């Protein structure tokens, strides 16, 4: 019983972390489902409340003291919402859950159909523009080329968007199994610079390693971690003034490694910060024309980092720049066997 | 033994726009000889005479779809062992796995960079023959 309650407290703590960093309804649903599972076993509402308390203590302990009051207020709302369904009848609960599951299935089917239906016309649009812009269909007058390049760049953006919508849905539903293994962090950071320097160069921005990377390994899916780094580095490059450098730095903390990506861009407006990891969240006025992202990169990065057992966050000062960071547990040979997958 | 270079591709695609783009890319950009088919049944009729070295086959088609066309081509002596590449807008991991299990040697996801298509096909062709060369005799 005690172990089950501790497990529930851990589940609540994970959901609360998600809620505090903007996951909203998804976090609430996770907390509600964890509570519902516990209630169907031996635990009662009293044990649920105790687990809530433990989760709150654990999560507050991870935050700097100046954030405690705000987090405690949000946690109170969170737990009130997560417990609310239990006030309804068991029949009502089942009905709600079945409805939620039905909507999830519909959403997944909708995403799948939309993705497929968009891909077919996009193949014609993007394929034609690709051939013309790459000069495979003959020479073009300069003005025509300029406008076709605009069309091509935007078709690339729609392709990215369609890919990322499906990607986030697959990651969240667990449809993608992560190929987790011990990864040399220094090599991975070097690879990420190599893979993204041309993109940054398009904005006249350099990416450079700040200091020597610690010789550590983390337990991660290397392709997915490169995807996180690509999102953070490309965002930083897009928001940097020309001629600036995006700094990539890794530091060792007790039991953890923290990777930071810093830019000297305009910073993130205060009112936008709470929503920054939400899907399609973009601080429009500070995004220079032609540098728009899809609005999904940070949401995808957050899902990946959390599925790898880590955390992602940022510090920003308006007018001075932004640093995004993520932390992953350091891997030691005796801790976990190499290889394997996680859902 | 090194494989002969890729020259003949059978393209099967029901969408006329995509057919035109892929045909242009393979023929005019890539210098390949392409036989174009708008359906699975047309492919089955043309393949024994054209003798393609590789087939580029759309998955979702009315009538015979990609996997059914693949099975029919496997039943013809002239194309029983011809490598078949699927191209598809259905890109979920379990769908791609299903196409590979059905016998596709590779899967090209839509949308793709048309100008790079000939090189991708040549890459697949080289890989298949590299693998074949490594197989024990």
d(CA A306, CA A66): 24
Task: Please name the member of B21, B91, B93 whose beta carbon is closest to the beta carbon of A124.
Answer: B21
Q: Does any CB of chain A come closer than 8 Å to the CB of residue B90?
A: yes
Q: In this predicted structure, what is the pLDDT of residue A334?
A: 63
A131·B24 Cβ contact <8 A: yes
Q: Is B113 an 8 Å CB contact of chain A?
A: yes
A67: in domain: yes
Would you place residue A63 in the very low, low, confident or very high pLDDT band (cuts 50, 70, 90)?
confident
Residue with more model confidence, B7 or A114: B7
Cβ pair A136:B89 closer than 8 A? no
Q: Which two tokens stand for residue A303?
A: 């899902």
Q: Is there a domain that residue B1 lies in?
A: no
Q: Considering Cα of A75, then A80, then A83, then A84, what sign does the dihedral take?
A: negative
Q: How far apart are CA A155 and CA A149, in angstroms?
A: 10
Residues A233, A154, single domain; the answer is no
CB–CB contact A127 B111 (8 Å): yes
CA distance A208 to chain B (A): 30
Q: What are the pLDDT digits (tens) for A103-145? A: 878 887 888 788 888 999 999 999 999 999 999 999 999 999 9
* Beta carbons within 10 angstroms of residue A249's beta carbon: 18
User: Domain boundary at A37, A57, A87, which?
Assistant: A87
Position B37 in a domain: yes
Look at residue A337 and tell me if it is in a domain.
yes
Q: Are residues A254 and A146 part of one domain? A: no
Residue B105 falls inside a structural domain = yes
Question: Does a structural domain hold residue A208?
Answer: yes
Give yes or no: residues A260 and A125 share one domain: no
Q: Inter-chain contact A127–B94, Cβ cutoff 8 Å?
A: no
Using a CB–CB cutoff of 8 Å, tell me whether B16 touches chain A: no
Contact of B135 with chain A, judged by CB distance below 8 Å, is answered with: no
Same domain flag for A203 and A319: yes
CATH number for the domain that contains residue B55: 3.40.50.2300
Count of domains forming chain A: 3
Q: Would you say residue A215 lies in a domain?
A: yes
What is the tens place of the pLDDT at every residue in A285-325? Answer: 445 545 567 788 999 999 999 989 899 999 999 999 999 99
| Parent domain of B33 | 8-134
Residue A92 lies in a domain: no
Q: Are residues A202 and A311 in the same domain?
A: yes
CATH number, domain with residue A331:
3.30.565.10
- B110 Cβ under 8 Å from any chain A Cβ: yes
Q: Whole domain around residue A236: which residue ranges? A: 178-342
A74-83, A91-100, A111-120, B96-105: segment of lowest average pLDDT = A91-100
Q: Do B115 and A137 touch (CB under 8 A)?
A: no
First to last CA, chain B: 12
* Closest alpha carbon within chain A to B93: A176
A223–chain B nearest CA distance, Å? 15
Same domain for A323 and A183?
yes
Quick one: A226 and A303 in the same domain? yes
Task: Please tell me the total count of domains within chain B.
Answer: 1
Chain B touched by A124 (CB under 8 Å): yes
State the Cα–Cα distance between residues B37 and B19, nearest whole angstrom.
9
Q: Is A212 exposed, middle or buried (0-12, 13-18, 19+ CB in 10 A)?
A: exposed
> CB atoms < 10 A from the CB of A63, how many?
14
Q: What is the pTM of this model?
A: 0.65
């Amino acid at each position: 019983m005690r172990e089950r309650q501790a497990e529930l407290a851990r589940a609540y703590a994970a959901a609360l972390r998600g809620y505090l960093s903007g996951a909203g309804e998804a976090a609430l649903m996770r907390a509600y489902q964890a509570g519902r599972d516990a209630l169907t076993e031996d635990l009662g509402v009293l044990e649920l409340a105790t687990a809530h308390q433990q989760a709150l203590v654990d999560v507050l302990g991870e935050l700097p003291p100046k954030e405690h009051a705000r987090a405690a207020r949000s946690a109170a709302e969170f737990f009130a919402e997560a417990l609310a369904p239990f006030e309804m009848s068991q029949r009502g609960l089942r009905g709600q859950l079945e409805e939620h599951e039905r909507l999830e299935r519909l959403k997944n089917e909708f995403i799948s159909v939309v993705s497929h239906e968009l891909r077919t016309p996009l193949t014609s649009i993007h394929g034609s523009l690709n051939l013309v812009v790459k000069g495979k269909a003959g020479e073009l007058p300069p003005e025509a080329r300029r406008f076709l390049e605009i069309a091509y760049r935007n078709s690339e953006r729609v392709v990215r968007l369609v890919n990322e919508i499906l990607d986030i849905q697959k990651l969240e539903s667990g449809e993608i199994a992560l190929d987790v293994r011990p990864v040399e962090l220094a090599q991975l950071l070097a690879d990420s610079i190599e893979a993204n320097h041309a993109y940054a160069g398009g904005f006249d921005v350099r990416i450079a390693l700040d200091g020597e990377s610690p010789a550590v390994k983390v337990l991660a899916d290397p392709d997915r971690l490169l995807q996180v780094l690509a999102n953070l580095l490309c965002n930083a490059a897009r928001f940097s003034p020309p001629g600036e450098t995006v700094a990539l730095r890794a530091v060792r903390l007790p039991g953890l490694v923290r990777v930071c990506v810093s830019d000297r861009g305009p910073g993130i407006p205060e009112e936008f910060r709470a929503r920054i990891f939400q899907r399609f969240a973009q601080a429009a006025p500070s995004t220079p024309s032609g540098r728009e992202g899809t609005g999904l990169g940070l949401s995808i990065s957050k899902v990946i980092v959390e599925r790898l057992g880590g955390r992602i966050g940022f510090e920003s000062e308006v007018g001075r720049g932004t640093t995004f960071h993520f932390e992953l547990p350091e891997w030691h040979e005796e801790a976990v066997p190499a290889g394997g997958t996680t859902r | 033994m090194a494989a002969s270079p890729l020259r003949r591709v059978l393209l099967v695609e029901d969408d006329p726009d995509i057919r035109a783009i892929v045909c242009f890319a393979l023929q005019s950009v890539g210098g390949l000889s392409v036989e174009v088919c708008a359906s699975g049944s047309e492919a089955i009729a043309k393949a024994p005479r054209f003798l393609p070295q590789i087939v580029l086959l759309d998955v979702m088609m009315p009538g015979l779809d990609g996997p059914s066309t693949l099975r029919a081509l496997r039943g013809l002596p002239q194309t029983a062992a011809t490598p078949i590449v699927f191209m598809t807008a259905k890109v979920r991991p379990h769908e791609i796995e299903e196409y590979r299990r059905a016998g596709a040697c590779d899967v090209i996801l839509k949308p793709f960079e048309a100008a790079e298509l000939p090189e991708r096909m040549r890459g697949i062709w080289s890989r298949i023959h590299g693998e074949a060369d490594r197989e024990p005799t």
